Amino acid sequence: MKKTAVAPSNIAFIKYWGKADEALRIPANSSISMNLSGAYTTTTVDFSTAYTKDEVSYIDTSDMDKLTRQREFGYEERKRVIEQLDRIRKSAHINTCAKVMTQNTFPKGTGIASSASGFAALTVAGFAAAEASLNEKELTIFARMGSGSACRSIPDGYVFWEKGDSSDTSYAYSLYPHGYWDLRDIVCVVDLKEKKVSTTEGHQRVETSPLWGWRHRSVDGRIEAMKRALAEKNFTSLGGLIEEDCLEMHHVMQTQAPPLYYWNETTVVLMENATSWRNRGLPVYFTIDAGPNVHLICEEKSEKHVLEQVKTISGIESVIVNKPSAGAHLVESHLY
C-alpha cells in the first residue's frame, strides 16, 4: 500500500544530548520541544512486490537553479532509512520491499532537525503503508529508534520526551496542543552547508566532557522549572530557561573530545544581538541545535519587531518563521 505523511521538525527548548542506550536511542535526559509549522518533511512509502530492493530517494529543492531534482541518499542515511523499514516490516509481519521518497521544506543537515521530521514522517507513513495500526505512543517509540528527536515530531504542539529506562518507557507525548500558546521560532539560516559531525557521532562522545556530569545533575531541575513556565505562560521565565539549556548543551559539545563547534561568526553575532535587543525591551531569546542556525523565540506580538531587527544583520541566508504546529499526520496526496 502507498501512504504519505507530513511531519514537522521541532526545536528543543530542553535539549537531548547524550544517550543512556546507544542502540535503542534512549536519552540520558528527558527533553521538551515545540513543533515547527514552517519546516517539515513529506514522505511517501509504498510497500509492494513490484520492488526487488528498497528504493530510497529525496527531492532536492535547494539547488541553485531551484530545479526540482530527485537524488539518492548517501550510504549512511540510506542505511538508517532501510533499518527503519526493517523495524516496520518486522513489527507488521511483512517482507515486501519499499519505495520511499521524501521532500523537506528546508535545507538538509544544517541543524534544523531534518532527521527529526524525516524519521517521524517515515515512521507514520511506513506503518500506515504496512497496514499496521499503532497508537501515538507506539509510533513515538519507533520514531525514536530511527532518530531520537524524531519521537518529539509525532505528538501535537509542545511535546515532552520522557527519557524512561527501557524502550517501552522512552516515549513522547503532547504537553499542550499547538494552539495553546502562540509562540514564534524565527530561524535565521546562516549556513547552507551540511554539518561535518553527525549528532549520532556527537552523542557518543558526551561523557568525554568534564561538564557532562554538571549538566546531568542540573537538567531535571530546569525541566521542572520549564514545565511551570509553560503552565503559567511565563515567557520571561521560559526564554531564560531555553537560553540556559542551549548554552549548557553547547558548552558540553565544545568541551567534548574532540570538541564540536557548531557556531559560525553570524551565529555569535545573532546571540549577542538577541541579548542586546532584549536589554532594550524586546522579549526575544535564542536557541541553537547541532548547527550554526539561530532560532529566535518570541511571542506573536513581537514577531514583527524581531524580523525588523534580523534584517539589520548581515550573513543571514534566509529566515523561516515558524508557529507551533500539529504533529505528524497522514495526507492524501503522494509525492509520486
Backbone angles phi, psi at 283, to 5 degrees: -75, 95
Q: Which is nearer to ligand PMV, 15 or 184 (CB)?
A: 15
Residues that bind ligand PMV (rule: CB under 6 A) add up to a total of 16
Choosing from 84, 102, 123, 147, the residue that interacts with ligand PMV (CB under 6 A) is 147
- Closest distance to ligand PMV from the beta carbon of 14 (Å): 8
Q: Which stretch binds ligand PMV (CB under 6 A): 10-18, 52-60, 84-92, 306-314?
A: 10-18
Choosing from 12, 154, 223, 320, the residue that interacts with ligand PMV (CB under 6 A) is 12
Asked if 35 interacts with ligand PMV (CB under 6 A), we say no
Q: Are 93 and 327 in contact (CB under 8 A)?
A: no
- Closest distance to ligand PMV from the beta carbon of 25 (Å): 7
Q: How far is Cα 122 from Cα 157, in angstroms, rounded to an integer?
A: 19
Asked if 153 interacts with ligand PMV (CB under 6 A), we say no
Asked if 149 interacts with ligand PMV (CB under 6 A), we say yes
- Closest distance to ligand PMV from the beta carbon of 120 (Å): 11
Looking only at the bridges linking them, the beta strands covering 158-162 and 171-176 are antiparallel
Choosing from 199, 302, 322, 325, the residue that interacts with ligand PMV (CB under 6 A) is 199
Q: Which is nearer to ligand PMV, 238 or 335 (CB)?
A: 238
Q: Which three cell numbers stand for residue 216?
A: 546531568
Q: Which stretch binds ligand PMV (CB under 6 A): 98-106, 110-118, 294-302, 316-324?
A: 110-118
Cβ partners under 8 Å of residue 304, min gap 6? none
Q: Which three cell numbers stand for residue 127?
A: 506503518
Asked if 206 interacts with ligand PMV (CB under 6 A), we say no
CA neighbours within 13 Å on the CB side: how many for 32?
23
Choosing from 4, 6, 9, 15, the residue that interacts with ligand PMV (CB under 6 A) is 15
Q: Which three cell numbers stand for residue 169?
A: 518507557
140-9-260 Cα angle (round to 5):
100
Q: How far is Cα 137 from Cα 148, in angstroms, rounded to an integer?
A: 14
Asked if 34 interacts with ligand PMV (CB under 6 A), we say no
Helix (H) or strand (E) holding 316: none
Q: Which is nearer to ligand PMV, 160 or 235 (CB)?
A: 160
Asked if 32 interacts with ligand PMV (CB under 6 A), we say no
Sort residue 128 into left (φ over 0), alpha (ψ -120 to 50) or beta. alpha
Helix (H) or strand (E) holding 219: helix 212-232
Which DSSP string corresponds to 243-297?
A: HHHHHHHHHHHHTSSS------HHHHHHHHHHHHHHHTT--EEEE--SSS-EEEE
- Closest distance to ligand PMV from the beta carbon of 151 (Å): 9
- Closest distance to ligand PMV from the beta carbon of 202 (Å): 8
Choosing from 98, 154, 290, 296, the residue that interacts with ligand PMV (CB under 6 A) is 290
CA 86 to chain centre: 22
Q: Which stretch binds ligand PMV (CB under 6 A): 112-120, 170-178, 294-302, 311-319?
A: 112-120
Asked if 122 interacts with ligand PMV (CB under 6 A), we say no
Q: How far is Cα 178 from Cα 168, in angstroms, rounded to an integer?
A: 26
Q: Which is nearer to ligand PMV, 8 or 148 (CB)?
A: 148
Q: How far is Cα 267 from Cα 153, in angstroms, rounded to an integer?
A: 25
Q: Which is nearer to ligand PMV, 4 or 149 (CB)?
A: 149
Q: Which residues bind ligand PMV (CB under 6 A)?
A: 12, 15-17, 31, 113, 115-116, 147-149, 199-200, 203, 289-290
